Structure formats: structure tokens, C-alpha cells
């Protein structure tokens, strides 16, 4: 999955699965979850989506357990991504639904999700899970849409 994504030269989302070299597997696994906020990051959890029938990783989702100021503006509680060859199949909608169950387990009552205005597929998967557009903000010259989902 990571090799395919890297070959496209597009930014891999969520950030948690690209912050260290995935080819150094032990280091990679150890980097996937933040357990304290000493680094300025908030505690988070990462899950990969595996298509059992094909034994193929099709995407990943990262949940930030709470928001800091930066995440409140741009990032939100959930970051998700689907490998390029598996897009437009409803996988993101399903991954978000599963992530929302994990958010409920964390005790969250409301979840913020953010996507680039130009990313129509991402917006659709958020809306399919109950996302309501609050506003749009410009971050580093990019218009970001901020959606809230009531749990």
C-alpha cells in the first residue's frame, strides 16, 4: 500500500502513517501511536483497513483523542486515506464509520473532520457519516472544509 501511494507523489494521509520510514518496520510500528503530548502532538491511535478476501491493505485511519488549537483549525479528530487503486469504492465511508465507533469508545460526543475543498470524495465520505459543514478556512493557501459529526 505504501509503495503504491509513494509512487504517485501525492501526500499520504493520514499523517501518522507517513511520519517515519515504513520500510524500517519496527520503528514504523512504534511511531504509529502518540501516547503523550510531550512532543506537542496529542495522543492518537492508528488503524489499517485490510480487505480480508484479497489480503490487501486498502487504507488507514488515525484518531486524535482530543483537539489542540492546530487540530481544531486544520486536522480534526480523524484523518483517513485510501490507497489510490482502491478509491471510489466506498472504503473511506466504511473506515470513517468504524473510526466513529472508536471515537464513541473514547467518550467523544462530537467529532471534527477536515478536508481540502477540492477533495470531493473525502467530503462525500464525511457527509455520508453525518458530517455537517461548519465553515471553510484558508490554511497555507488551501481552502479547508470543517465538518462536525454528532455522536
Beta carbons of 73 and 139 less than 8 angstroms apart: yes
The answer, yes or no, to whether residue 37 has pLDDT greater than 70, is no
- How high does pLDDT run on average in the chain? 89
So what's the pLDDT on residue 24? 74
- List, for residues 64-121, the tens digit of each pLDDT value: 999 999 899 889 999 999 999 999 999 999 999 999 999 999 999 999 999 999 999 9
Q: Point out which residues pair with 63 in neighbouring strands.
A: 45, 78
Q: What is the pTM of this model?
A: 0.86
> Which of 95 and 42 is assigned the larger pLDDT?
95
Beta carbons of 17 and 2 less than 8 angstroms apart: yes
Amino acid at each position: 500500500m505504501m509503495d503504491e501511494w509513494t509512487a504517485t507523489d501525492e501526500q499520504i494521509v493520514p499523517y501518522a502513517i507517513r511520519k517515519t520510514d515504513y520500510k524500517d518496520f519496527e520503528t514504523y510500528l512504534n511511531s504509529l501511536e502518540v501516547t503523550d503530548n510531550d512532543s506537542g502532538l496529542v495522543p492518537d491511535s492508528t488503524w489499517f483497513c485490510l480487505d480480508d478476501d484479497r489480503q490487501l491493505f486498502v487504507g488507514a485511519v488515525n484518531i486524535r483523542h482530543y483537539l489542540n488549537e492546530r487540530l481544531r483549525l486544520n486536522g480534526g479528530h480523524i484523518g483517513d486515506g485510501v490507497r489510490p487503486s482502491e478509491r471510489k469504492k466506498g472504503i473511506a465511508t466504511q473506515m470513517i464509520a468504524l473510526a466513529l465507533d472508536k471515537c464513541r469508545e473514547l467518550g467523544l460526543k462530537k467529532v471534527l473532520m477536515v478536508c481540502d475543498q477540492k477533495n470531493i470524495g473525502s467530503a462525500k465520505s464525511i457527509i455520508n457519516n453525518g458530517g455537517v459543514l461548519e465553515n471553510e478556512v484558508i490554511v497555507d493557501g488551501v481552502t479547508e472544509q470543517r465538518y462536525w459529526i454528532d455522536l
